[in-house]
């Protein structure tokens, strides 16, 4: 492996990707809904003062009803409960909740209630992040919606159902104040966008309210993406960390359609001897994204990058481990929708112990629930498959260029 000094561009990227780092946090990895929902329900049931729950989807299913029951019980005992749901992801059920829950003590906000048939450029600027803050002391950040993952993911041939493969983290410590601030700022922004008087001055981080640091805690950064102040924060953090990688990049992502800069740093990492592995979606959940990302595989495989397709169920993860010391978990895919349009939230954990835990989980998925692509076989796919993938990719990139123009909330 080469050990050349970082290039000027790499050093520039690393300086640009310096989000606030909060020391002394405890981080718990939650794998899928089987880990996440029991932890979330326990936190809601223990809440004493406030609950903020922000999600893209809040489904009217088994899980959605359990969470809703817990929120209503919390409100009935005097806890201040705020629910924010994206207008597109939440669909009609979100609007129903906005009508029914306020009399029960739950404040409901719909982010961008525009209907899908309104052909506006801002239509796809959605709220895609998944954030929960309880009593300003515990936060959850990840990619898991309020949705029963078992309802739509049949396992082939087994007659059983498997959950989507996804992750979240539970956080305690000083970084929770930053997560709470991101939630407060969303309400302030919504009020302005809807022509209402904002609830007071713009929220600011009050470190005197922050939870004390744990002596055994770890450094964590909150990575946000929006269309105003943080347009490229998540992408820049990824690119800068990959550009500085010396040993390994292991990335799992549901929708992987990165831009030229992202692909370049992956190829350069592989060229200098870094092992680069991608765990990507193996099932065609959304056809245009699925085939569009396959248009990039040939170039990546030719650069020595390993690609594995997750086939046990639908992959919904947005995580990475780099050099065994830096890990990220969150809601952001590596595609134009997440990187150029939607509001997203990831956390970056700077800790070898947490990175090792996430790495081991991804290694199990690579070994038992995925299939490695063969470079030679992929290069000899039928012409019509290559044409289909190229067309899907062209449509996605064109749409991204048109829709990502301009700044809007």
Residues with catalytic annotation?
128, 130, 135, 316, 318, 323
Q: What is the 3-state secondary structure (H, E, C) of the chain?
A: CCCCCCCHHHHHHHHHCCCCEEEEEEEEEEEHHHHHHHHHHHHHHHCCCEEEEEECCECCCHHHHHHHHHHHHHHHCCCEEEEEEEHHHHHHHHHHHHHHCHHHCEEEEEECCCCCCCCCHHHHCCECCEEEEECCCEEEEECCCECCHHHCCECCCCCCECCCECEEEEEECCHHHHHHHHHHHHHHHHHHHCCCCCCCCCCCCCHHHCCCCCCCCEEEEEEEECCCCCCCHHHHHHHHHHHCCCCEEEEEECCECCCHHHHHHHHHHHHCCCEEEEEEECCCCCHHHHHHHHCCHHHHHHCCCEEEEECCCCECCEEEEECCCEEEEECCCECHHHHHHCEEEEEEEECHHHHHHHHHHHHHHHHHCEEECCHHHHHCCCHHHHHHHHHHHHHHHHHHHHHCCCCCC
**CA-based torsion, 367, 371, 372, 376: positive or negative:** positive
Residue 168 and residue 28: Cα distance in Å, rounded? 8
Find the farthest-apart pair of alpha carbons in the chain and give their distance in angstroms, rounded: 64
């Amino acid at each position: 492996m080469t050990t050349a000094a970082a290039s000027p561009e790499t050093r520039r990227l690393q300086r640009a990707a310096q989000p606030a780092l909060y020391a002394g946090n405890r981080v718990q990895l939650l794998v899928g809904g089987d880990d996440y929902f029991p932890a979330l329900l326990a936190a809601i049931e223990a809440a004493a003062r406030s609950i903020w729950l922000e999600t893209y989807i809040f489904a009217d299913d088994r899980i959605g009803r359990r969470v809703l029951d817990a929120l209503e019980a919390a409100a009935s005992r005097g806890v201040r409960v705020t629910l924010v749901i994206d207008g597109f992801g939440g669909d009609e059920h979100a609007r129903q909740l906005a009508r029914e829950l306020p009399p029960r003590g739950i404040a409901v906000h719909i982010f961008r209630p525009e209907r899908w048939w309104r052909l506006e450029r801002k239509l796809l600027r959605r709220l895609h992040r998944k954030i929960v803050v309880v009593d300003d002391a515990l936060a959850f950040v990840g990619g898991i919606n309020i949705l029963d993952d078992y309802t739509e993911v049949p396992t082939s041939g087994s007659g059983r159902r498997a959950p989507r493969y996804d992750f979240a983290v539970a956080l305690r410590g000083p970084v929770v104040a930053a997560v709470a601030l991101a939630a407060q700022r969303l309400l302030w922004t919504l009020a302005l966008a809807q022509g209402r008087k904002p609830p007071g001055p713009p929220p600011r981080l009050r470190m005197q309210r922050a939870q004390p640091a744990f002596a055994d805690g770890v450094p964590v950064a909150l990575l946000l993406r929006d269309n105003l102040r943080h347009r490229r924060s998540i992408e820049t953090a990824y690119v800068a960390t990959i550009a500085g990688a010396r040993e390994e990049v292991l990335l799992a992502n549901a929708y992987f359609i990165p831009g030229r800069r992202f692909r370049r740093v992956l190829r350069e990492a592989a060229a200098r001897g870094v092992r680069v592995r991608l765990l990507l979606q193996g099932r065609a959940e959304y056809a245009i994204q699925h085939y569009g990302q396959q248009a990039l595989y040939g170039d990546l495989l030719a650069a020595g990058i390993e690609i594995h397709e997750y086939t046990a169920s639908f992959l919904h993860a947005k995580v990475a481990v780099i050099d065994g010391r830096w890990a990220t978990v969150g809601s952001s895919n590596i595609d134009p929708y997440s990187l150029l349009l939607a509001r997203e939230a990831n956390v970056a954990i700077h800790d070898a112990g947490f990175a090792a835990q996430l790495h081991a989980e991804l290694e199990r998925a690579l070994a038992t629930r995925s299939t490695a692509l063969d470079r030679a076989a992929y290069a000899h796919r039928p012409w019509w498959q290559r044409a289909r993938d190229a067309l899907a990719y062209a449509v996605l990139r064109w749409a991204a260029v048109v829709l990502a123009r301009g700044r809007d909330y």
